[in-house]
Amino acid sequence: MKKLIATGLLAFTASSGMFGGHAARAADVEDRLVRSRAVEAVIWSMPAISIREFVQASFKDYGATWNDVILWSKPALPRHEFLTANNQVPYMLTAINLRGGPVVVEIPAAGEKAVLFGSFVDNWQAPIVDVGPSGEDEGKGGKYLFLPPGYSEPTPEGYISVRMQGYMVAGGLRPVPANGGTAQDAHAYAQQVKVYPLADAAAPKPTRFIDGYPKPFHSLPVYDSSWFRELAAFVNDEPVRERDKVMIGMLSSIGIERGRPFEPDAKLQRELDSAIADARSLMENYFVTPGRALTPWWPDSQWNAFSPDALKKANGFTYETNDALWLDARAGGLFYWATFASKKLGAGTFYLMGLRDSAGKLLDGRSTYRLRVPAEVPAREFWSAIVYDADTKAFVCGGPCEHADNAVGLSSFNKPDMKQNADGSVDIYFAPTAPAGFEKNWVTTAGKNFFLIFRLYGPEKPFFDRSWKLPDVERVQ
């Protein structure tokens, strides 16, 4: 009996040690799981948090509120911190909250001297509807009626109805001069836009316009612990979609649950701080790795556009297909570096991404580079070449961004002032300092690593059939 008892105690002791080992191992695995799920949460939520912070910046920096329109009186400067913005045409932005019911946005018909291009996106930054000549109104103008989730009331006639799955809607538009029109013509034309609740349609109040040009704008995503506070607020503010239920369930591992306050303890906070840095590194790697999101537009070219596989996964930039919700492609492939994708790619504008020089090396802010733009570019409206800070994905600041007013790009609008070659082509230089005699052809890099976007507004057939080609950027010093 004593022997049996001793054997039993020995077995129990060994068993207890075994259970203790499992507990220690499980605790370690759980810590790593928290870190992993926090990284995934950032990548998953990238487009939602980016557009949420964009809208909140308009409220904080400009004193705007829902249904106001922020209309820049002049093109943006480095103090206006957008992801990969254009500095050649002023922007107009509006944000709508559908919790109070349907909201109407009136888009004017294309004018003789100006037109509107742009898109409205949902709370996940998926483009829902384009407006203007390349949009649903086809340049004829129209009343877009945005309907909240689950709206079942009859909709009145004469509207372009747009059913939403979330409450927040954001519009990013560009009034573009046309037919010899001026920037002033485009600015006046843009003020014909109206935003108001459907309930006020019989007698809508005048839309409030705010000039975004004089003040700085801080709309860039912030990669620190505030990300998770914003994510917790988003989860509580917006409806949960069927596709996101698994991720919503896993968020409880990092302290985020619907209906509960987000209060991370010190240990969890350390994991979240580390996870946000890891997530950003992963998205950056996805962005710069050839062939993942971008592929050469021409054979043996360093100018890139979305690859066929990337466009298939993008599926109208919703990134939701019959097979999957493509989180990495949605984050690192687009919304990590851009906002307000259009629903119809290439209808109004086309972007060429330049991350490398002709030798295939990433662009270095300390070197001098040259881009030769041919005399003829197949763009009905205009073309532009703009420099972006590789770190922020915003304009390069030639000094403190709050006050920087350096040129960040050049376009066909600037061509008359630039030194031109005998064949009508122009050489644009990207460097810390201007090459002698080419001051008007120069865009500063301020010594910062950078990338380029070459835009064609109104791209034409020679671009799409590849019979026209843009030379690679060459390192000259």
pLDDT digits (tens, 9 = 90+) for 13-40: 445 555 566 777 777 778 889 999 999 9
Across the range 218-222, mean pLDDT stands at: 96
Which strand (E) or helix (H) includes residue 97?
A: strand 92-97
Specify if 425 maps to a domain.
yes
C-alpha pair distances (Å), 190 with each of 89, 175, 401: 12, 6, 27
Specify if 66 maps to a domain.
yes
Across the range 120-132, mean pLDDT stands at: 96
Shared-domain flag, residues 257 and 383? no
pLDDT tens track for 343-372: 776 556 789 999 999 999 999 999 999 999
Shared-domain flag, residues 333 and 394? yes
Specify if 13 maps to a domain.
no
pLDDT of residue 387: 97
Shared-domain flag, residues 170 and 296? no
Across the range 256-271, mean pLDDT stands at: 94
List beta partners, residue 366: none
For residues 260-289, one letter each, b for 16 or more C-beta atoms within 10 angstroms of the residue's C-beta and e for the rest, the string is eebebeeebeebbbebbeebbebbbebbbe
Shared-domain flag, residues 76 and 198? yes
Shared-domain flag, residues 275 and 384? no
Q: What percent of the chain is predicted at pLDDT more than 90?
A: 82
Specify if 232 maps to a domain.
yes
Higher pLDDT, 26 or 165: 165
Specify if 8 maps to a domain.
no
DSSP assignment of 108-159 = PPPPSSEEEEEEEE-TT--EEEEESTTSTTTTS-EEEEEE-TT--SPPPTTS
Given 229, 248, 283, the domain boundary residue is 283
pLDDT band at residue 397 under the 50/70/90 scheme: very high
Specify if 12 maps to a domain.
no
The CATH number assigned to the domain holding 310 equals 2.60.120.600
pLDDT at residue 6 greater than cutoff 70: no
pLDDT at residue 3 greater than cutoff 90: no
DSSP 101: S
Distance, in Å, from the CA atom of 15 to the CA atom of 121, rounded to the nearest integer, reads 58
Q: Residue 365: give the domain boundaries.
A: 286-475
Specify if 11 maps to a domain.
no
The CATH number assigned to the domain holding 37 equals 2.60.40.1610
Mean of per-residue pLDDT scores for the chain: 92
Shared-domain flag, residues 274 and 311? no
315: three-class secondary structure by DSSP: coil
Given 249, 268, 283, the domain boundary residue is 283
Given 222, 252, 283, the domain boundary residue is 283
Question: C-alpha 232: how far from its chain's center?
Answer: 21
Shared-domain flag, residues 184 and 226? yes
